[in-house]
Structure 1
């Protein structure tokens, strides 16, 4: 009997789904935390318009690249989909970013 080829194995069925869910939640928490900190920084710096959104995408990309490197450039055993490292929690992070961006912009530059 021949061992299954690596491309034939679905890692999401081989590895513990509880641990994959934990990794996904942890990445989401990190993404929201980075969004809060970078949103506050963008507000304090007075970034406006598309430059402010560009700051969000740069910090999100940096976090995703760091997570990708931490898992050894092979995210499939740690997440359900390989793309989860890059896309998981973007919406939640963006909402937190906008909230803190506008809050700190108003505190520093308007009041």
Structure 2
């Protein structure tokens, strides 16, 4: 019936899978941004700014390239895509940030 009205049905399993894939991509790229922050020698608010900017940059790339601007088709509700999981990648970011900072600057 929903297809007759031009509305695609929302399948809970598909939405959960999409959230899982987005979370995986963000966690992986958080590690890469952590490596970059450590190698560049960023500390304090500079490192935090790189994490936040990197998070939104990756989110924008996912939104523009993979979702083609149609957020509600792949992610429900739409606002959760941008802000709900911002702290999920923070532990891997901090771990790689401190590791690479220590390797490059502390143990010279």
Q: TM-score range by the shorter chain?
A: 0.7 to 0.9
Q: Report the Cα distance in structure 1 between the residues aligned to 2:62 and 2:83, rounded to whole angstroms.
A: 12
- How far 1:83 sits from its partner (Å)? 1.5
Q: Report the Cα distance in structure 2 between the residues aligned to 1:104 and 1:34, rounded to whole angstroms.
A: 15
- TM-score by structure 1 length? 0.83
Structure 2 residues not aligned, in runs of 5+: none
Aligned residues: 103
CA RMSD of aligned residues (A): 1.8
Q: Which residue of 75, 79, 99 maps to 2:75?
A: 79
Q: What aligned pairs does 1:1-111 form with structure 2 within 5 A after superposition? A: 14-69=9-64, 70-111=66-107
Q: Report the Cα distance in structure 2 between the residues aligned to 1:49 and 1:80, rounded to whole angstroms.
A: 34
Query: SS in structure 2 opposite 1:109?
Result: helix
Runs of 4+ in 1 over 3 A off after TM superposition: none
- TM-score by structure 2 length? 0.85
Q: Report the Cα distance in structure 2 between the residues aligned to 1:89 and 1:32, rounded to whole angstroms.
A: 10
